[in-house]
Amino acid sequence: MKISEISRVAVIGAGSWGTALANLLAEKESVDASLWAREEEVYTEIREKHTNHLFLPDVKLTPALKASVSFEEALQEKEVVLIAAPSHVFREVLQGLKPHLKPDMSLMMATKGIENDSLMIMSQVAAQVLGHEFSNRFACLAGPSFAKEVSRRLPTAVSIACEDRNHGEKLQRLFSTGFFRVYLSGDVVGTQLGGALKNVIAIAAGVCDGLNFGSNARAALITRGLAEITRLGVQMGSNPHTFAGLAGMGDLVLTCTGDLSRNRSVGVQVGKGKSLQEITRGMKMVAEGIKTAKSAYELRKKMKVAMPIVDQVYEILYEDKDPHRAVKELMTRDLKTELEH
C-alpha cells in the first residue's frame, strides 16, 4: 500500500447501507474502519456479536469492524468521514460531528435525499454547516446497490463523485474490491440528484405495480421519470450524461424494479389502497422517497421545471389524491415531442 493511500475511515450511521459499507471496508486488511451507531443496542450487538439484526439481518460482520457510540471515538485518527445517516437527520449529524472534524479530514456521503425546509442537497447542507473548508475534498457515493446484496458480496457497480480528481481516485481505490466496482465522476450535484430523485420515481413505479398496471406502464414511468430527473439536474448545472450512468439510470432501474426497494414497496402499498400513515407506522427503516417527494415538488417549483410524475406522487402522498386519478391525469396531458432541446 502506498503511503498516500487512504486507510482510516469512520462510517457514521449503522443502518443497512452504512453497515454494509463499513463492513466492506473493514474486510480489507489495509483499512481501519469504525462504525458509529446512534442506537445503544445496535452498537452493543455489533461489538459483541458482530451482527446488526435490526438493520441488516442474517449477515455476519467481520470482527475487524469497530463499533462506537461516540463521535470522538469513531473519528479518532481517521482520514475520511463517510456519512450514511438518513437525509432528515443529516444536518443534525453534521452539527454533532463538527467539533471533532479536523482540517486534514475529508467528508464523504452515502445519504440520498433533499432537505425538506432548505431544499438543499447534502453537499449544500455540508457547506452551510461546515463552511467551504471541505468542499474540495467532498465526495458522494451513489448507484444501484442494495445493502443486502453488497453484504453478500454479489457483483455491484457504483459511482463516486468528487471535484478533486486525485482525491476521487484515492476513494475509488479505497472502496473497490473484487465484487464492488467503483467508477469515478466529477459531477457532485448530478450524482446527488440522481440518488435522491430516483426514490420518488420508485414510489410511482410501486403505485403502478400495486394497481396491476403491468410492465408497459412501469417501463414508461421509469423512462419518463429519468427525463424529469435529467431536466431538473441540467437546470441545476449537472452534466446530462450523469443521468445515463450508474447514479441515474442504474439506480433508478434498480429502485423501481427490485423487491428489496423500500420506496417501491411504499408505492405498491399505496396502489393497493393503504394510507401513508398506515404504511409508515409499520416501517423500521426509512423510505427516503416519502420526504424527498415533498422536497422535489417544492424544488421543481422553485427551479421552474416541469416534473409531472413528481407532482402526482406528492399529491398522492400529501393530498390524498386517488392513484387512479393521478395516472389518468398523466396519460391525458397535452401531447408533446419526446426529446427536448
Contact 30, 72 (CB under 8 A): no
198 is catalytic: yes
Cell of 241: 450524461
Strands 156-162 and 180-185, by their bridges, are: parallel
Residue 12 identity (one-letter amino acid): I
Nearest one of 198, 189, 199 to 124, comparing CA atoms = 189
Strand runs (DSSP E) across the chain, as ranges? 8-12, 32-36, 66-68, 80-83, 106-109, 138-142, 156-162, 180-185
- Contact of 88 with 291, CB cutoff 8 Å: yes
What cell numbers appear for 190 in the block? 448530478
Catalytic-role residue among 78, 198, 291, 294 = 198
Residue 22, classed as helix, strand or coil, is helix
- Amino acid identity for residue 39 in this structure: E
**Cβ atoms within 10 Å of 288's Cβ, excluding its own:** 25
CA gap 113, 198 in Å, rounded: 10
| Catalytic residue numbers, as ranges | 198
